[in-house]
Amino acid sequence: MPPLEDKELKRREYFRDKQREHRLRVRREAAAIKAEFAELQARARELRVDSHPAVDTDGGLSWSILASVFRAESNRSTAKQQALIKKSNAMKDLVAFMQRFVSVNVTAPLPPASPWQSATLLEDPEARKLGKEWLTQQLYYNMDYTFRFFPSVALDEEFYCIDMDTSDDWLNSVEIMQHIWPGNMETSKAYLQNHMAELLFREPSQVLVECTENTKLYRRTTEEGSFINILQGNFVEADRFVVVMRQVEDDEAFNSRSYRQQHIMIWVEVRQVTATHVAVRTISHFSRYFRDGQGFVSVDELAKIWKIDLTGVPEDQKTDHLRSTYIRQERADHSIFRKKIQSIIEKVNSPDYSLSPS
């Protein structure tokens, strides 16, 4: 047989074999599909036997359909009732919590010898949130009355003073200041809302912070045995931004009985004075340190806290010496405080800083 005919014959045999294999594969797949279809039909017949038709022979809805509808509505009604009962019980609990909050925070006015009233926060999350709002709003409502005692200083002038009242055992201190800083209201809000821990604490990374929409609670205990629990609230007005702060002396979320602490109240007001600068006015009140149930710390312990040496000072002169040295130290430290503020403001005013709340 000539070579060309032999080659053509082999090619035809090859394609016949391929077509035969293809037909066999198609027949096998068709048989498998038919078998699966038959199985599905059998299962469908079984399901139809067990099910109820949607329509009865008289053309009405099947009783099973009606029963399923009523059952679904009953389940929804039961779930809604349970949700309402749960919500009602939660509201009853919250009312009980807030009644207790009011009983410990809204008391009769203190006698003249006790100018401070302690604040309490409950542990229940919702009552705790409402308590924070109430305490900060109370300070906010007293803002204008407090600033009636601010010295007559032009809004574009710098001012600082500090004093301590030694006429009673409270040794109350008052610090008043006005700073002029570069920036606008938005950058000032970012600075006071997001960086307060850097101003209040030497080691802000060691501070526990609780946040709500409008408040922050800064908690810190020191190795020396002090308990700091500062609550901050922020309020925006048309022409000023207000920050209020206070020590929360009694906090159910933390047992502070073994620690010393002091009463603290702070009011901060920010106003735009030029297109490029703001005036920040601050009034701060501080009491003598005390321990819950034990009263004031001694003058000697207070001097140790403030790193004031009373060696050789007669007993009857210790309080006056403590006052004069404390005031002198605070005035000297104020320049350090200003530098800290300036570094934060420079960071906030930088182009790379995001003004969104942290």
Given 3.40.50.1980, 3.90.1150.10, 3.30.530.20, 3.40.50.720, which CATH number is that of 129-349? 3.30.530.20
Output the pLDDT for position 60: 57
pLDDT of residue 108: 40
Q: Work out whether strand 250-251 and strand 120-121 pair parallel, antiparallel, or are unpaired.
A: parallel
Q: What is the pLDDT of residue 322?
A: 96
Cα separations in angstroms, 32 against 19, 35, 37, 38, 258: 20, 5, 9, 10, 81
User: Using CB atoms within 10 A of its CB, is residue 40 exposed (0-12), middle (13-18) or buried (19+)?
Assistant: exposed
Query: Are the C-beta atoms of residues 232 and 209 closer than 8 Å to each other?
Result: no
- Please tell me the predicted confidence (pLDDT) of residue 136: 96
Place of tokens 């949130």: 129
The reported pLDDT for the residue numbered 19 is 77
Integer CA distances (angstroms), 171 to 1, 140, 286, in order: 127, 25, 9
Strand order from edge to edge, sheet including 277-286? 159-164, 173-182, 277-286, 264-272, 241-247, 227-236, 215-221, 208-211
Q: What is the pLDDT of residue 121?
A: 94
242: tokens are 């207000």
Please give the average pLDDT of every successive group of 10 residues along the chain, which has 358 residues. 63 73 79 80 66 56 67 77 70 57 50 68 92 95 92 92 92 95 92 92 93 95 95 96 97 93 97 95 96 92 96 95 96 92 88 70
For residues 211, 258, 325, 266, the Cα torsion angle rounded to the nearest 10 degrees is: 30
pLDDT at 113: 45
Provide the CB-side half-sphere exposure for 88 (13 A, CA): 6
Domains of the chain, residue spans: 129-349
C-alpha–C-alpha distance, residues 146 and 165, integer Å? 17
Q: How far apart are CA 146 and CA 139, in angstroms?
A: 9
* pLDDT score for 109: 40
